[in-house]
Amino acid sequence: MMIALQLILYCGLFFLMVKLGVGNNALNALYFYPKPVQDRVYELGLTDRQTVSKKRKIFMIAFFTVMAIALIAIIAIWNKARDFLPAYLQALLFLEVMNWFDGIVIDKIWVAKSRLWVIPGTEDIPYVQTWKQMFRKRIILTVIWVFGAAIIAGIVVIMGRFYEFG
């Protein structure tokens, strides 16, 4: 039951980070869009590549930092994992749930159904991945997170050797 609550909170944090990144203007997250949409936005003069690159860098650094710290805190402090295998399995669960949450809830529901994500002047260009594209991407990320979970678990174990969390 506790792990379900933690997963909901973690996915809620994911959603909040994306919402903070986009604000009320889809142009703030143009780097998430397919190249044809980006090219049209540049042609329309709504923004430029340098601005998008800068926003992407700022968002990605903040996003990965916050999500990694939150995950490490959940595993090390809240769940008190000290050994590699329990920390790894927890990290893998959280990363995989986040992966599929992103593909289904964020991309296929929120982005596909909300007017927030429609950029004026690009309405004729598809910007939401098809189910096939989404599944392909999620499967690739599923494999990547197998290794990412090992990194998180390693950090949790190392931290546990230097600090006593409760």
- For 50-104, write each residue's pLDDT tens digit: 999 999 999 999 999 999 999 999 999 999 999 999 999 999 999 999 999 999 9
Cβ atoms of residues 76 and 161 within 8 Å: no
Contacts by 8-11 with C-beta closer than 8 Å and gap 24+? 10/67, 10/70, 10/71, 10/74, 10/94, 10/97, 10/98, 11/97, 11/98, 11/101, 11/105
Domain ranges of the chain: 2-162
- Length of the chain, please? 166
pLDDT in tens, 111-138: 999 999 999 999 999 999 999 999 999 9
Q: Is the pLDDT of residue 166 over 60?
A: no
Cβ-count burial 34-54 (b if 16+ within 10 Å, e if not): eeebbebbeeeebbeeeebee
